[in-house]
Amino acid sequence: MITNDIAQAVTALASGKLCAIPTETVYGLAANALDESAVARVFAAKERPADHPLIVHVASASDVSEWITELPQWAVDLTNAVWPGPLTIVGPRTALASNSVTGNQDTVAVRVPSHPIAQELLRQLEAQGVKGVVAPSANRFGHVSPTSAAHVSADLGEYLNVHGDLILDGGDCQVGVESTIVLATGSQPVILRPGAVTAADIKRITGVEVSEETINAPRVSGALDSHYSPTAQVILITGSETEFENNAGFLALAQTPTPTGLTRLATPATIEDFAHELYSSLRAGDDLKLKTIYVVPPTGDGLAQAINDRLNRAAF
Ligand code: TXA
Ligand code: MG
């Protein structure tokens, strides 16, 4: 069931139900992080492999010490500057973080979302003794992440209805791509997944060089080669091509004109708009039963990198 009632979502989560929640990045499928059977149902609902660890969401940076034993000074500076916001930190876990949450790893991922509804929900949950909720993106495993309550419903609605779980509707997600994940176990930040908080932001805030190391480990499911995929085949192009398949869609910045015969899925004016509309465009292509979606990826650093990362995996 879709609801607008935060109190109803709090009650559901505190009593072991699942609830899809809006965040500024994408919708997450939330469960009480300390309720083993609720956490197990998150994996079941998503059909997600059990060794893929989850992100714990808390109300404020001061809650992080419940979950992470210690962070280097650069990570403390980073979280103080960015949270609440689209950043996830991976650090050594406390005893609160169970094996099912961490996928048996000795680290745990934690994030403080900025969406006002997520904030209010987490504060009310903490007042009831719920110290955090796990919340992977609320899509079927491998599918495009949801940026609206309707997207969640399309992927997981049947499972959630059958089990009496909820979807908390908070409108469209502002950022549109998942949080930046930063490994904070060493002297330098390592970006495990690019997002709206960029390497340049991290360098500027912490004064520390971001590691060149790319840990493309399977422990980050978003780092699997094929992920974020719609049913339509995604083909990346430069925009100068003239031959296209029939029944195909097109996505590019507004400045790139629509090639003859293609169905335009969005006209984002900026990189931010591109990220915001990326997943809804891919889903719209599937709704239109398009066979192919041609995408001209945006160029440049920062958020463009996050968009390219997702597009490369969608096209794989
Ligand atoms: O923006 C987001 O981060 C969204 C919203 C809902 O908060 N959540 C999200 O969750 O994208 P999910 O589960 O779809 O992606 C979380 C990623 C996974 O790829 C997981 O493998 C990685 O975080 N992760 C979690 N714990 C980790 C750990 N201890 N070490 C490395 N990667 C970890
Ligand atoms: Mg995901």
Domains of the chain: 2-206 (3.90.870.10), 233-314 (3.40.50.11030)
Which pTM value belongs to this model? Answer: 0.96
Q: Using the predicted structure, report yes or no on whether residue 289 has a pLDDT greater than 60.
A: yes
Residue 242 C-alpha to ligand 2 middle, in angstroms? 34
Q: If you average pLDDT over residues 299-312, what whole number do you get?
A: 94
Which residue has a Cα nearest atom 15 of ligand 1? Answer: 136
Distance (angstroms) between ligand 1 centre and the Cα of 109 equals: 7
Q: What is the pLDDT of residue 50?
A: 86
* Ligand 2 centroid – CA 302 distance (Å): 20
Query: Is 137 strand, coil or helix?
Result: strand
The response to whether residue 90 sits with its C-beta less than 6 Å from ligand 1 reads: yes
Helices 116-127 + 6-14 axis angle, to 10: 50
Q: What is the pLDDT of residues 226-250, one digit of tens each?
A: 778 899 999 999 999 999 999 999 9
- pLDDT for the residue 275: 98
Query: What per-residue confidence (pLDDT) applies to 228?
Result: 81
| Residues measured by CB to lie within 5 Å of ligand 2, the ion | 137
Position 204 pLDDT exceeds 80: yes
User: 């992100």: which residue's tokens?
Assistant: 55
Q: How far is C-alpha 213 from the geometric centre of its chain's CA atoms?
A: 22
Tell me what pLDDT residue 223 has: 59
Task: Taking residues 187-216, report their average pLDDT.
Answer: 92
Confidence bin at 222 (pLDDT 50/70/90): low
Q: What is the pLDDT of residue 227?
A: 76
Quick one: average pLDDT of 93-100?
97
Q: Does the beta carbon of 180 lie inside 6 Å of ligand 1?
A: no
Tell me, using a 6 A CB cutoff, whether residue 114 lines ligand 1. Answer: no
Distance 64 CA to ligand 2 centre (A): 22
Alpha helices in the chain (DSSP H): 6-14, 36-46, 73-82, 99-102, 116-127, 149-162, 199-206, 271-287, 303-315
Distance CA 72, CA 186 (A): 7
250 sits in which H/E element: strand 248-251
User: What's residue 103's pLDDT?
Assistant: 94
| Closest residue by Cα to residue 55 from 78, 81, 82, 21 | 21
224 pLDDT band, cuts 50/70/90, is low
Enumerate residues 6+ apart whose C-beta is below 8 A from 260. Answer: none
CA separation for the pair 189, 87 (Å, rounded): 12
* pLDDT band at 114; cut points 50, 70, 90: very high
Residue appearing with tokens 């990220």 = 275
CA 246 – ligand 1 centroid, Å? 36
Work out the mean pLDDT of the chain and round it to a whole number. 95
Q: Is the CB of 109 under 6 A from ligand 1?
A: yes
**Mean of the pLDDT values across residues 278-303?**
97
Return the pLDDT at 218.
40
Would the pLDDT of 22 be above 70?
yes
The share of the chain scoring above pLDDT 90, in percent, equals: 91
pLDDT of 80 reads 98
Q: How far is CA 197 from CA 26, 71, 78, 128, in A?
A: 15, 18, 10, 31
54 in ligand 1 pocket by Cβ < 6 Å? yes
Helix, strand, coil content of the chain in percent (nearest 5) = 35, 20, 50
The residues, any chain, with a CB within 8 Å of residue 57's CB and separated by 6 or more, are: 23, 28, 30, 110, 111, 112, 113, 118, 122, 132, 133, 134, 135
For residue 179, report the distance from its CA to the centre of ligand 1, in Å.
8
Residue of 21, 141, 220, 276 to test ligand 1 pocket, by largest number of atoms within 8 Å of CB: 220
From the CB of residue 223, how many other CB atoms can be counted at a distance below 10 Å? 17
Beta-carbon contacts of 261 under 8 Å, excluding residues fewer than 6 positions away, are: 244, 246, 248
